[in-house]
Structure 1
Amino acid sequence: MSFCKDCIKGVTHDGTPEGKIETIGGIECYVATPTVDYPKDKALLFLTDAFGPHFINNKILADDFARNGFKTVVPDYLHGDAITEDAMNSGTFDLPKWLVITALKADGVTSFGATGYCFGGRYVFDLTLDGVISSAAMSHPSLLQIPTDLEKYAATAKAPLLINSCTTDWQFPLEVQAKADEILAGFAPGYKREYFEGCTHGFTVRGDLSDPKVKAGKEGAFKSTVEWMIKHI
């Protein structure tokens, strides 16, 4: 499955980022930290779309998670540049999970959740299959091999999974959404799929918020992810 046009288009959102850039395990990260007391042994990994951690929409969304009590770490797994599809399908692309997570563990973090957007969802799958995270969420995921990845998740993963889906998505279309429900319906750790009518791939991070359906979809997907992480991380 190749990239679609909606992977690289969208609307810039208004706001002033409140987090800061930190180097964790040698990887540049955007870190959003709650301003109130929060569990220091937990962290939320935010795996971005193609625009990376320096894109204002991603920073603002990470800040929103921090306001809900999650220390949120957005690693620059793009290494300051775009990723080619070949790199993602080669099986050799090394998401800096292993460096960032190792460093966070050294600081006392013992439980990780991960939320992924577009091809960030691909790496949420990988983190889960590697047994790294305790709670998984993804919005309009890209580059999944269907049904292989879903079947592997159902057979081997331990983390409960939330998928935020939408009406128009070349990467995760309606028939694939139905297949996910079929394969993961009995997934013991937990499975839930939210569906947002009238939205298009990328709506959670790059949607046009002047469109009431897109605004409702973005806010609904964020709410569902926060609730999922509170319950499972």
Structure 2
Amino acid sequence: GDPIPEDALTSPTFDRVKWFSGHGVETWQVPVDKVVAALKETGVARFATTGYCFGAPPAFYLARSNTSHVTVVSHPSLLQIPADLEKYRDTSKAPLLINSCEVDTQFPKESQVVADELLGNGKFAPGYERTYWDGCTHGFAVRGDLSNPKVKAGKEGAFKATVDFVKKYL
């Protein structure tokens, strides 16, 4: 594989644009479809999907094809806002939880507001929730300084929200 380095969020030498340009839908869709097919062959009938950062597009893909029965994304990246949210609303039957945060260039406050406007207040019948973690930055649900009480609360809170949401809808 070609993983993102652990220090990518803070490294001035990591070229995100170059990395993302080599990891589009053409690199993940076929493997994702193969995993789903293999799981179905073993009898798995219901799927929950979680996507962190770059995992948001595959999670939305599985939800829009109604393969996923419940979807959670945390600090989502590479979504086209509002288009991907509108497609989700119009095609998916999977309830959606978005774990968001205060400082996130990939899913900034403006995108969070759009998500709430399109899906919130009962507008998305399957179910929609969004958590917001003050004092957290992009990547908080998987990385972060756990000695910082706000980051620790965000990471642990997003995990609990994810588990509770999946249990509620799956």
TM interval, shorter chain, is 0.7 to 0.9
Counterpart in 2 of 1:114?
49
Deviation at 1:214, TM superposition (A): 0.2
Corresponding position of 1:9? 9
Aligned residue runs from structure 1 range 1-233, under 5 A? 8-9=8-9, 84-89=19-24, 91-95=25-29, 96-185=31-120, 186-233=123-170
Q: Deviations over 1:165-218 (max 9, x none)?
A: 000000000111001000112001000000011000000101110100000000
Q: Give per-residue Cα distances to partners, 1:124-146, cap 9 Å, x unaligned.
A: 11111122110000100000001
SS in 1 for 2:141: helix
Q: Distance in 1 between matches of 2:7 and 2:73?
A: 15
What TM-score, normalized to structure 2?
Answer: 0.85
Q: Which has the higher helix share?
A: 2
Structure 2 counterpart SS, 1:209:
coil
Higher normalized contact order (CA 8 Å, seq sep 6+, divided by chain length): 1
Q: Is the 8 A contact 1:165 1:196 kept in 2?
A: yes
Cα distance, 1:121 vs structure 2: 1.2
- What secondary structure sits across from 1:175 in the alignment? helix
**Structure 1 stretches of 4+ moved >6 Å:** none
Inter-partner Cα distance in structure 2 for 1:221 and 1:99? 29
User: What letter is aligned with 2:28?
Assistant: D
Deviation at 1:84, TM superposition (A): 3.1
Residue-pair matches, total: 155
Q: Cα 1:122–1:7, aligned 2, differ >3 Å: closer, same or farther?
A: farther
Identity of aligned residues (%): 54
- Deviation readout 1:211-230 (Å, 9 max, x if unpaired): 00000000000000000110
Inter-partner Cα distance in structure 2 for 1:86 and 1:125: 19
Aligned to 1:28: none
SS in 1 for 2:164: helix
Give the direction of change, closer, same or farther, for the CA distance of 1:196–1:163 in structure 2 (3 Å limit). Answer: same
Gaps of 5+ in 2: 1-5, 11-17
Contact 2:28/2:58 (<8 A) preserved: no
**Distance verdict in 2 for CA 1:136–1:173, change over 3 Å:** same
Aligned-CA RMSD value: 1.8
Higher strand share: 1
TM-score, normalised relative to structure 1: 0.63
Structure 1 residue 88 displacement after superposition = 4.3
State the Cα deviation string for residues 44-66 of structure 1 (Å, max 9, x = none): xxxxxxxxxxxxxxxxxxxxxxx
